[in-house]
């Protein structure tokens, strides 16, 4: 992971995740150095990324949520060629591999729904080799702490974070940052 990205994550305990144009405008006022873009389509994503980059922030595009993009490696090539995004977020290890080949930052999003999903974490990290993993849902501090201990790379937690107590608990569990679409969390 490049030093600039790691430092931005360390300097931003709360990462802003945006899901609409209203969130895009509000995120520009946040102190977060990293913005997760969780919406858009192939026609709008270049402009959304340009707005985030114009505010001096790192733009991470969640490929799985961009309408019109396939789940194939060509989607990563599209983001690299037609936007100035710094990196991608995805649940798909082959897309992580392609993004790394293209010099993009990578976040592998993992949904920890049961013990089988938990047991697959180490294998997925070894297979995909992302810069960071994001664990969802975040509100499992004991499990998140275990993941932080076994992960050789930084861990972000996201999903269902609703107040300062949640943020403190997650930071104490060992995550580098918390991602949230909850605007009240952005300005804690």
Identify the structural domains of the chain with CATH numbers, from first to last: 3-186 (3.20.20.70)
Q: What is the dihedral of CA 51, 138, 117, 134, to 10 degrees?
A: 30
Neighbours of 64 (CB within 10 A): 16
Q: Are 89 and 109 in contact (CB under 8 A)?
A: yes
**Do the beta carbons of residue 89 and residue 62 sit within 8 Å?**
yes
State how beta strands 155-158 and 132-136 pair: parallel
pLDDT 10s per residue in the chain (188 long)? 567 898 999 999 999 999 999 999 999 999 999 999 999 999 999 999 999 999 999 999 999 999 999 889 999 999 999 999 999 999 999 999 999 999 999 999 999 989 989 989 999 999 999 999 999 999 998 999 999 999 999 999 999 999 999 999 999 999 999 999 999 999 88
CA separation for the pair 154, 177 (Å, rounded):
9
pTM of the model: 0.95
């Amino acid at each position: 992971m490049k030093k600039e990205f790691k430092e931005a994550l360390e300097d931003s305990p709360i990462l802003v995740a945006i899901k609409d144009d209203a969130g895009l405008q509000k995120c520009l006022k946040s102190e977060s150095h990293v913005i997760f873009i969780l919406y858009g389509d192939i026609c709008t994503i270049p402009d959304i990324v340009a707005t985030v980059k114009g505010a001096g922030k790192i733009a991470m595009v969640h490929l799985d949520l961009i309408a019109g993009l396939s789940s194939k490696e060509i989607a990563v090539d599209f983001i690299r060629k037609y936007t100035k995004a710094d990196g991608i977020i995805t649940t798909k290890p082959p897309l992580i591999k392609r993004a790394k080949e293209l010099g993009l930052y990578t976040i592998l999003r993992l949904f920890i729904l049961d013990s089988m999903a938990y047991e697959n974490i180490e294998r997925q990290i070894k297979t995909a080799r992302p810069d960071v993993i994001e664990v969802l849902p975040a509100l499992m501090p004991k499990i998140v702490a275990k993941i932080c201990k076994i992960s050789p790379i930084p861990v972000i937690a996201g999903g269902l974070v609703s107040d300062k107590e949640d943020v403190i608990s997650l930071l104490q569990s060992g995550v580098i940052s918390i991602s949230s679409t909850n605007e009240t969390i952005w300005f804690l």
